[in-house]
Amino acid sequence: MHHGGIYAEEIAGKAYDTALLRRFARYVVPYRLSITVVLLILPLVAACRLAQPWIIKLAIDNHIVTGKLAGMEQIALAFLGILLFESLLSFLEVYLLQSVGQRVMSDMRAELYGHVMHLPVSWFDRVPTGSAVTRLTSDIEVLGEMFASGIITIIGDILLLIGIISVMIWMNLQLSLVTFSVLPVLLYVAYTFRRRMRKSFREVRARLGELNSFLNECVSGISIIQIFNRERDEERRFSELNASYRDANMPVIFWDASLYAMVEALSSIAVALIIWYGGGEIVTGAVSFGVLVAFIQYIEKFFAPIRDLSAKFSVMQGAMAALERIFALLDIPGSSPPLPTSLRQGEVGRGEAAPLIEFRDVSFSYQSGNDILSGFNLTVHRGERIAIVGESGGGKTTITRLLTRLYEIERGTILLQGIDIREYDVAQVRRRVGVVLQDPCLFAGSIEFNISLGDEQAMQRVRQAAAAVGADRFIDRLPQGYKEEVRERGSNFSVGEKQLISFARAVAFDPEILILDEATASIDSASEQMIQEGIKGMMQGRTSLVIAHRLSTIQDADRIITIQHGIKTEEGTHDELLRAGGIYARLHQLQLGEP
């Protein structure tokens, strides 16, 4: 349990990148009709807001100041009608924007999740789970906020500002110039704050990713934390990350509050200038009292959207930071492209007489310069049962990861039925290979779902597969049988029962090649016989690669391969390797407790 290092995400990018919005636009195109309606509504809303001060001016100059009350009812009704019409338009605007925002978020979340499902396993080795979850959840949610109070509403604000400037200049040029004397300062403030808030928001998103990663790690490893009495230490580490996230938000709050206060101050200054200059103009008769009141109203409406810019900047800058992270994830290459048609047509002809699996001079490293496999060679014929043994970290599991293309080989070749596996589509390779790991992975849902994983063909073989590995004996005793719910991580089943479910899963998908990666390493002696019977049922009629820690479970293998430091050192049957007196013989003696 630690933070920093792999948890720290790079905070980079331009202060503002219109390319992000252009790329984002393709997600909005399917809902262009709703967006078009909103764009048509925006000028109508702006017109309603522009009309209100003008109506007040007419009421003051033509009726209140002159004392002519005839016609005031019509002006009052017109003012009320415009307010009601504006309210209706505003409702439609907000409803359409938020509904489009939800649909766009749903589309992006689905695409992002689908992309993550096809990323290479090496990406998950580098990126903490919490960081990936943050991009799929809170980063996407920020885009919804952008729709609700950001990108489209800014267009309406711009229309309103242009309309106010035009009406004010038309009403009185001198008063307009006095009012707009504060605009240069306002523009400078807005530009400066935009840049600073952008940087602050990137920091906030990065710190949130760190916090989510740490929480995921701690919740997953809570039993270890408690067993080793590390609760207080983890609380201290969480407090540090929590404080880091809090501190990252402080600059955002500061710039947000500062921008709001500066706009409010400039608005008050503009009103004061109007009262000072306009009051003198009223005395001289150059300006009517209604014009002065209308100007004050227009100033309030002019600075209202600018005051909201602090909030809109918060939303937009947060959305830009989120889009950077989302598109950076989408730009990571996924699995290999589908197999070209020409290669598919040649598969059968090339593979009829070839070994089922062949490793030729395969070398691989997870980190550059540190080879896990070095010049590894292995030939496996159809129906063979091959066992692989050796020291921890020697490369046994790496062999299975390369065969299933969880990782791509760096040097050498792996042939599947005489064809380089890189010529196959990844899904084609994995359909032919079934894997059972040391730690069985169960999902929330029924036993039936955990065996079939929702696959229609596998669903038809669930009971047959469970019977083949002996899992039906304990499943049939459960209150709901195959419909029994599996709790989180299978906590309501024993280790042996969970492993039998994973065995049944492998059989249900009917793989041609079966890989057992230390599938019995964590099984207690009482469960071992049950598991061994399950393994025999699983291997029936299949080619098998068994990575074993317990040598007693592989003595009847057709061949046993010994690996040391990524190099194949021995190959033969159990009896042959014992007679050879090499590494396998020494491992066998150690497990039997012989001198």
Helix ranges, 404-461 (H): 426-431, 447-452, 456-460
The whole-number average pLDDT for the span 154-162 is 84
For the stretch 384-427, pLDDT in tens is 999 998 887 788 888 888 888 888 888 889 998 888 888 888 88
Per-residue pLDDT band for 83 (boundaries 50, 70, 90) equals very high
For the stretch 281-302, pLDDT in tens is 787 777 888 888 888 888 888 8
**In the chain, pLDDT over 70 holds for what percent of residues?**
87
**Distances 398 to 127, 373, 388, 595 between C-alpha atoms, Å:** 20, 8, 11, 32
Please say if the pLDDT value at position 84 is more than 90: yes
Lowest average pLDDT, out of 257-261, 311-315, 470-474, 591-595, goes to 591-595
In this prediction, residue 223 carries a pLDDT of: 67
In this prediction, residue 194 carries a pLDDT of: 67
Per-residue pLDDT band for 436 (boundaries 50, 70, 90) equals confident
For the stretch 85-124, pLDDT in tens is 999 998 998 888 888 888 998 998 888 888 888 888 777 7
For the stretch 465-520, pLDDT in tens is 888 888 888 888 888 888 988 887 777 888 788 888 888 888 888 888 988 887 66
Per-residue pLDDT band for 5 (boundaries 50, 70, 90) equals very low
The whole-number average pLDDT for the span 236-259 is 85
Between 535 and 249, whose confidence is greater?
249
CB 267 within 8 A of CB 299: yes
**Closest alpha carbon to 461 in 421, 417, 510:** 510
Per-residue pLDDT band for 81 (boundaries 50, 70, 90) equals very high
Please say if the pLDDT value at position 594 is more than 70: no
For the stretch 319-346, pLDDT in tens is 887 888 888 888 888 765 544 544 443 4
Please say if the pLDDT value at position 47 is more than 70: yes
The upper half-sphere exposure of residue 41, i.e. CA atoms within 13 Å in the direction of its Cβ, equals 21
Supply the mean pLDDT for the chain: 80
E-strand spans in 440-565? 445-446, 485-486, 513-517, 543-547, 559-564
Please say if the pLDDT value at position 269 is more than 50: yes
Beta-sheet strand order (sheet of 357-367): 370-380, 357-367, 411-416, 419-420
Structural domains in the chain plus CATH codes: 18-330 (1.20.1560.10)
In this prediction, residue 21 carries a pLDDT of: 83
Residue 287's φ and ψ, nearest 5 degrees, are: -135, 140
The residue whose two tokens read 């009350």 is 69
Length of the chain: 595
Between 536 and 503, whose confidence is greater?
503
The tokens for 27 are 């997600």
In this prediction, residue 214 carries a pLDDT of: 81
Residue 123's φ and ψ, nearest 5 degrees, are: -65, -40
In this prediction, residue 311 carries a pLDDT of: 67
Between 13 and 261, whose confidence is greater?
261
Residue 416's φ and ψ, nearest 5 degrees, are: -120, 110
The whole-number average pLDDT for the span 202-211 is 77
Please say if the pLDDT value at position 15 is more than 70: no
In this prediction, residue 349 carries a pLDDT of: 39
Rounded to whole angstroms, the Cα distance separating 220 from 224 reads: 9
Per-residue pLDDT band for 359 (boundaries 50, 70, 90) equals very high
Please say if the pLDDT value at position 2 is more than 70: no
